[in-house]
Chains A and B, each alone.
Chain A
Amino acid sequence: MSHTTLETCNTKVETDLKEIAADVVGRAISGGATAAEAVVREGDEFSTLVRLGQVETLKESGSKSVGVRVFFGKRAASTYSSDFSVAAIERMVRSALELAKVTSEDPLGGIPDASELGSLAGDLDLYHEDVYSLPGPARIDYARRTEKAALDFDPRIKNSEGGSFDAATGHKVLANSHGFVGEYRRSYCSVAAVPIAQSENGAMQRDYWFSVARSMSRLEPAEQVGRIAAQRTIRRLGARKVKTAHVPIVFDPMVANSILEHIFEGVNGDSVYRGASFLAGKLGHKIAGDNVTVIDDGTIPGGFGTSPFDGEGVPTRRTLVIENGTLKSYLLNTYTAKKLGLQTTANASRGLAGTPGIGPGNYFLQPGTKTPQQIIAGIQDGLYVTEFLGHGVNLVTGDYSRGASGLWISGGELAFPVEEITVAGNLKDMFFNISEIGNDLEFRGAVACPTIRIDGLTIGGE
């Protein structure tokens, strides 16, 4: 195997993405559009999966795409293409202009005002070329060592879905007819292990652990990731059902994240103006206990949710969403802000086509002071949830019912693993019933939540 060529060696055509974006906007305007916005994206990815010590897959590629959104007065439409030839781009712009004829006049439609546009200055620490610095064999070795650490941890770890190493970089340009042209690059690398443990009776359990970073220098050591994956898997062996019960529930940070995401969906301007959120109309109201403060901050250097501007070219910012239990702000883009008579919070997210949606910056629950162990120690009988299954959440009504597995808490300690149970309640009550918040906030993505305890939920079991 010729090792050196394993690295991403795509002979990149050094096209200036900014020029392409500005050209697309220019073509739209000369075609008759009253406003236009173009996005150009380019990215590459590498991934390898090693299973039981052998390379199972190696994948390496690059791709690019361009999208345009045009306005004819108050009518909008969008098109996209993966072909950057002049003919294809011309066809894409012309299609968008044609398509805009069939859409409705929306009095609040449009791109942001020129005065709102801009880009955060300075280095946001989002891009590190070193994610591709390892030579091919060393990347495979990273994945192999991660899996091996898991396999070696305990003789009951007998199988594996593998160890993996991934790296990716992306380059994004946004331009619009107010003359805004912004760009940024982001990098990413991750390592993960998914071991499978087997008990004497043949029953299998799997779990996982991973590390993700914008720079290789911040990626956790392979052995540490593999070991934690193994520990998380082993502790599930021998899981059983429990009886239907009403006891306190502790959510580990990985699953607590999902609770925080439900708040995000609840304050998402798109759901709010349509009345599709259980938090619609609650601005300034108490929606959670005094201990709950939630922040969205797209400006944190190096963050997974950081960018210099949002999907519409508005500089990102820090927004206090919930302060001591009171709903202080929804999360908005330009359109939803106009619908609600508010200002955008620079949370526009934009794909290649369609209208901008709402996405998080670095979105988190302010940590408390107790360690997870102290929170568990305060519970006589309860459940520690480590995994959810399914998506049984109704954001219109707040009704909540999900499959779960984890560990039973008895006498303040983790006693035995449980599975095939449900956790149910209503989100409106759950946020008031967050009785403990841990001190273990750690970002493994754009959304992060420490360990939390919630009372008043129903566990469905035998």
Chain B
Amino acid sequence: MTCEQTNSTWCVIIMLPPESFRIQQHLINVNKEQFFFEHYGLTQPDLERYLAAALSAGGDYADLYFEYLTSTSLMVDESMVKSASQGISAGCGVRVVAGERTGYAYTDDLSPQRILHAARTAALIASGPAKTPVVGYQEKQARGLYPVTLPSVDSEITAKVELVMRADKAARAYDPRIKEVRASYGDELRNILVVASDGTFAEDAQPLARLNVSCIAKNADGISGRGSGGGGGRVALDFFFGDKNPEHFAREAARQAILQLDAREAPAGEMEVVLGPGWPGVLLHEAVGHGLEADFNRKKTSAFAGLVGRRVASEKCTVVDNGTMPWRRGSLNMDDEGRPTQSTTLIENGILKGYLSDKLSARLMGIADTGNGRRESYEHIPMPRMTNTYMLPGDDDPQDIIRSVKHGVYAVNFGGGQVDITNGKFVFSASEAYLIEDGHITAPIKGATLIGNGPDVLTRVSMVGNDLQLDEGVGTCGKDGQAVPVGVGIPTIKIDRLTVGGTAKRDAGSFMQ
């Protein structure tokens, strides 16, 4: 039993190799089929009754969040499919907001009696005369950022087994020094309905799938290395039978594991750092993304509080959070408050432009709702969260960026990261990195944590490449104990000074220009 403390926000993810920045519009007519009306016999008068119960003691706002989640997962280990599981969870969360106060209750039983009980429990946060919800719901314009999939059907299970078995085979075939391979596949389909006292009525069916491969390599001297690869998004099964096939991810995992066998100690101290494109965008997620979530700024607990309009990055830096990219892991047709997602500019040419908000923070701060209200499930209260967070490309040739560094580190793959919102300190841990010596990439180095200060790390970005990539799609972000899928991206960038947490005994000064 751990006590996950509030604003220590972390982000656990698994590595990611580069990929081309590809937009693939799924032009599928999303015919929202009113899932909960059909499957649970829910009616419009029911919804009105629940909302009226939620506002029975007053309050400014109430919403109902219905969720029906089906999931499948498969795992192969030692070339055997050792585990296969499927499950269904369903429930409804009721939220009542009164001023800055939030009351929340949920039920995993969708009977009217239980939902009414949850509504009356959540209502206790308020203390005033009953309020009446808006009459007449506004149905949102349907958007189709991802394919319409069906809950896992049996006919597909053999294809999914094929994916993990192919991944296992490809990783083992890559090099005889690959000794252990574990591959897993997981998918889910989340049907949600959000109904709110402000007239919101919005439904979505959100697919999510991912394939992961992890490998352990061992050489004749007993040296070990590990590597991982994986990807996915809000995609259908056919996604994994194209470019992003099991062999693609397996080879990447195996390549990293083999590379580690020859890694030398990483340097320690401040030095120039070049980040490769794609997954190293986790820098943005930790260094600036969390600090710009509106809840921390409303409470003035973020190191970024009050910095809108101020310079927080070099003028080469423009950072956006974009929930509207087709099929991406962090994308959503609508957020978990029923608002359409959007592309929000966080930093424009180095100047802080604004925050990521949900309904509560938008109302209390008098700012626009950016459609970033997300929650892990019906058991959770929504809060401002990122979607896909990335830096726009610049003009520099990635080769020139490497050539400009005399002594430094080139980091291309990362594990996760973490940030302390209040003092701005953040880390992200490189899992694949190289030394740069006299403008050339030389030896691979062992994994090392990079640490910096969010509000000023981007002011030291002196070069921005023209090679923006997004990650492959396995990122999961945790905040206040709630995990949600996210995406990150970045072009190759150069940071003039960042602390690298290695062990090499040589004097760190020799790495500085």
Write the residues of chain A forming the contact surface with B, with a CB cutoff of 8 angstroms: 1-2, 5-6, 10-11, 51, 54-65, 67, 76-83, 88, 92, 95-96, 98-100, 102-106, 109, 136, 159, 161-162, 188, 190, 192, 194, 196, 203-206, 208, 210, 212, 236, 239, 241, 244, 246, 274-276, 278, 304, 352-355, 387, 389-392, 394, 396-397, 399, 401-403, 405, 419-426, 444-446, 458-462
Contact = CB atoms under 8 A, between A and B. Distances in A.
- Most chain A beta-carbon neighbours within 10 Å: one of B179, B301, B429, B449: B449
A241 B124 CA distance: 48
Contacts of B29: none
Contacts of B427: 389-390, 392, 402-403, 422
Contacts of A401: 266, 429, 447-449, 501-503
B417 interface: yes
Interface in B465-490: none
Contact of A206 (B80, B415, B420): B420
B154 A63 contact: no
B82 A205 contact: no
B108 interface: yes
Interface stretch (B99-107, B365-373, B395-403): B99-107
Given A206-B7, A391-B416, A401-B429, A396 B1 contact: no
Interface in B340-383: 379, 381
B63 interface: no
Contacts of B73: 353-354
B81 A396 contact: no
A249 to B, nearest CB: 13
Contacts of A76: 82-84
A99 B154 CA distance: 8
B334 interface: no
Contacts of B75: 354-355
Interface in B289-327: 299-301, 303
Pick the 10 closest A-B CB pairs, nearest first: A422-B501, A403-B427, A390-B427, A353-B85, A392-B429, A104-B80, A392-B449, A80-B87, A460-B268, A244-B269
Contacts of A425: 503
B508 interface: yes
B66 interface: no
B170 interface: no
B84 A77 contact: yes
A407 to B, nearest CB: 15
A10 B120 CA distance: 11
B124 A460 contact: no
A103 B77 CA distance: 11
A55 B101 contact: yes
Interface string B406-434: 00000000011111101101111101000
A153 B91 CA distance: 43
Nearest to B83: A355
A205 B87 CA distance: 43
A390 B425 contact: no
A222 to B, nearest CB: 15
A389 B82 contact: no
Given A206-B301, A274-B180, A460 B157 contact: no
A273 B76 CA distance: 15
A447 to B, nearest CB: 9
Interface string B255-297: 0000010000010111000000000000000000000000000
Contacts of A352: 87
Interface stretch (B132-140, B218-226, B242-250): B218-226
Contacts of A10: 117
Contacts of A102: 81, 84, 157-158, 161
B449 A422 contact: yes
B107 A392 contact: no
Contacts of A458: 268, 501-505
A104 B81 CA distance: 5
Contacts of A419: 423, 425
A460 B429 contact: no
A274 B182 contact: yes
B125 A446 contact: no
B173 interface: no
Given A61-B118, A462-B270, A426 B503 contact: yes
Contact of B3 (A192, A244, A461): A192
A27 to B, nearest CB: 16
Interface in B141-188: 154, 157-158, 161, 179-180, 182
Contacts of B28: none
B495 interface: no
Interface residues of B, number: 95
A203 B269 contact: no
Given A205-B423, A389-B451, A420-B453, A57 B6 contact: no
B283 to A, nearest CB: 12
A252 B483 CA distance: 28
A458 B57 CA distance: 58
A403 B501 contact: yes
B1 to A, nearest CB: 5
A1 B57 contact: yes
Contact of B86 (A95, A278, A423): A95
B416 A274 contact: no
Given A354-B85, A460-B499, A460-B508, 18 more contacts: A5-B121, A61-B107, A61-B118, A62-B107, A102-B84, A103-B80, A103-B82, A161-B6, A161-B7, A192-B5, A212-B3, A390-B10, A390-B449, A391-B12, A392-B427, A401-B429, A401-B503, A422-B427
B447 A56 contact: no
Given A103-B81, A204-B422, A390-B449, A56 B102 contact: yes
Contacts of B12: 391
A415 to B, nearest CB: 19
Contacts of A51: 299
Contacts of B417: 390
Given A1-B57, A57-B104, A403 B85 contact: no
A103 B429 CA distance: 35
B31 to A, nearest CB: 26
B451 A445 contact: no
Nearest to A352: B87
A77 B266 contact: no
A258 to B, nearest CB: 11
A88 B68 CA distance: 14
Contact of B101 (A54, A65, A82, A92): A54
A48 B475 CA distance: 30
Interface in B1-22: 1-3, 5-7, 10, 12
8 contacts: A11-B117, A61-B118, A78-B83, A102-B158, A104-B76, A354-B85, A446-B1, A462-B269
A210 B3 contact: yes
Given A206-B301, A462-B269, A397 B423 contact: no
B500 interface: yes
B299 A159 contact: yes
A67 B127 contact: no
A99 B86 contact: yes
B216 interface: yes
Q: Which of B81, B107, B453 has the most CB of A within 10 A?
A: B81
A277 to B, nearest CB: 9
A59 B381 contact: yes
Contact of B447 (A109, A212, A354, A392): A392
B90 interface: yes
Contacts of A396: 216, 224-226
B446 interface: yes
B143 to A, nearest CB: 29
Contacts of A405: 425
A422 B499 contact: yes
Nearest to A206: B422
B161 A423 contact: no
Contacts of A103: 80-84
Nearest to B218: A275
